[in-house]
Structure 1
Amino acid sequence: MNTSCRVSKLTKSDKLLFSSIMSLAFARDPLFLHAFGDPELDRKSRSRAAAFVSFMYDKSFLLNEDIWGYFENEILLGTFIVEKPGISKLKRFKGAFLLIGRLLPLLFQLPVKTLGFLNSYMEITRSAAPSSPHHYLIMIGVNPEVQGRGIGAAMLLHLLQVVHADNKSHGIALDTENKGNVNLYQRWGFALRHEENINDLTVYCMFYQK
């Protein structure tokens, strides 16, 4: 049987598929457990995580970030969001203004403590990244049912190819809270730049120098 695989950009109509995959992929992620609670112990945890993932999808379109997906026989199995350099200040301002309307509902879906933690996380991790123009890998996830088949590697390889073709970018920054991922990314050429602690959560800030 022939298998057709491709990595291509998602559209706004792919939001439900994206949200489903990311919610499953990050269900036991240290950051999600810390921010939204354990779904096995807290019945509101899943709805909080789903609200955040949905917000991240909308935010990416408003701020001109790229959302890519890995398709096998036209079925979405993995996806990632990446912030790219070179976006004009005007576009960022317009996107940020429109984002306010999307942010307001989130204020009623997440506790104030969670919002404060996520804001601190963003400020600290972004400050740990290099000052030179670069891509920033915001999220990457694979449907747990097909993990171990090289889908994550295929998406990461695609991102590396995109970055190397972009003269404005000096590399890729990313953050992970899973210590086991540090060795994985190091094998791809990423270096550990900083190890931060945010509310007892250890965050590993890494960078791939092009």
Structure 2
Amino acid sequence: MSNSRNLSKLTKADKPLFVSLMSRTFAQDPLFLHLFGDSKLDRKAKHRVKAFVSFMFDKSFLLHEEVWGYFENESLIGTYIVEKPHPSMLQNLKGVLLIVRLIPLFFQLSGQTLHLLNSYMRVTRSSAPSFTHHYLIMIGVSPEEQGKGIGKSLLQHLINTVKADKKSQGIALDTENKENVDLYRRFGFTLSQEAQMDNMPVYCMFYPKEG
């Protein structure tokens, strides 16, 4: 029996698949551990992680972002969220709706966590290039499917998308896993800045589009 694999844009109906996948994928991510605690050991931390990942998915449909997924049969085994350049006037109006979406999150996350999230955004966005570019917000592969080239396929898909976009000059991303730095370098990313947030290193990287 052969497996059917395909890469496609996610719809709102895919939210449960996305939340389940990314909650497991980022369970031991340094940033998530720092923000929410260990979701494998703490039930409250698990709830906080799911609430945040759910918010990130909803946000992508309100703002200038896209969610792509790698499917095997009906199972989502890899996904990424990317922010596209050149926000429109409509996106600015949708920012008002985003504030409404944020309200429930305020009651699910502690004030300290919200403060840390704000600090992280300030650190990473200050390191982003000033010219137009895509921003890779999240990328993850199911723990059971890692090491099979799925993450590389997702990243290559994004790179191809950016190469075809005449308005974008590259891709910015941030990672807290030092071992990811060399992986991204193999795809043409360079380390633009190494920042710190509460003694946690944040590696800010950029892929410059040729030409």
Shared fold (TM-score, shorter chain, > 0.5): yes
User: Within 2, Cα distance between the matches of 1:3 and 1:46?
Assistant: 31
Gaps of 5+ in 1: none
Conserved in 1, the CA contact under 8 Å of 2:81 and 2:137? yes
**Aligned counterpart, 1:82:** 82
User: Within 2, Cα distance between the matches of 1:142 and 1:124?
Assistant: 25
Conserved in 1, the CA contact under 8 Å of 2:193 and 2:203? yes
Task: Map residues 69-108 of structure 1 onto 2, 5 A cutoff.
Answer: 69-88=69-88, 90-108=89-107
Residue identity (%): 63
User: Within 1, Cα distance between the matches of 2:128 and 2:87?
Assistant: 17
Length-normalised TM-score, structure 1:
0.97
Letter in 2 for 1:145: E
User: Within 2, Cα distance between the matches of 1:40 and 1:65?
Assistant: 29
User: Within 1, Cα distance between the matches of 2:134 and 2:170?
Assistant: 6
Q: 1:142-201 CA deviation, whole Å, 9 max, x = no partner? A: 111111111100100100010000001000000000000000000110000000101121
Conserved in 1, the CA contact under 8 Å of 2:195 and 2:202? yes
Number of residue pairs aligned between Structure 1 and Structure 2: 209
For residue 4 of structure 1, report the CA deviation from its aligned partner.
Answer: 2.4
**Aligned counterpart, 1:43:** 43
Conserved in 1, the CA contact under 8 Å of 2:21 and 2:141? yes
The worse-fitting range, judged by mean Cα deviation, of 24-33 and 122-131 is: 122-131
The worse-fitting range, judged by mean Cα deviation, of 163-172 and 90-99 is: 90-99
Task: Map residues 55-134 of structure 1 onto 2, 5 A cutoff.
Answer: 55-88=55-88, 90-134=89-133
Gaps of 5+ in 2: none
Letter in 1 for 2:55: F
Aligned to 1:44, what secondary structure does the other structure show?
Answer: helix
Letter in 2 for 1:190: F
User: Within 2, Cα distance between the matches of 1:144 and 1:107?
Assistant: 29
User: Within 2, Cα distance between the matches of 1:73 and 1:102?
Assistant: 32
**Aligned counterpart, 2:148:** 149
Letter in 1 for 2:203: Y
For residue 41 of structure 1, report the CA deviation from its aligned partner.
Answer: 4.5
Aligned to 1:77, what secondary structure does the other structure show?
Answer: strand
For residue 9 of structure 1, report the CA deviation from its aligned partner.
Answer: 0.5
Within the alignment, does 1:26 sit opposite 2:40 as a pair? no
Length-normalised TM-score, structure 2:
0.96
Let me know the Cα RMSD of the aligned residues.
Answer: 1.0
Letter in 1 for 2:38: D
Conserved in 1, the CA contact under 8 Å of 2:171 and 2:207? yes
**Aligned counterpart, 1:163:** 162
Q: 1:70-113 CA deviation, whole Å, 9 max, x = no partner? A: 0122321111000001221x122121100111100000000000
For residue 40 of structure 1, report the CA deviation from its aligned partner.
Answer: 4.3
Letter in 1 for 2:17: L
Q: 1:108-149 CA deviation, whole Å, 9 max, x = no partner? A: 000000001101101210110111100000000111111111
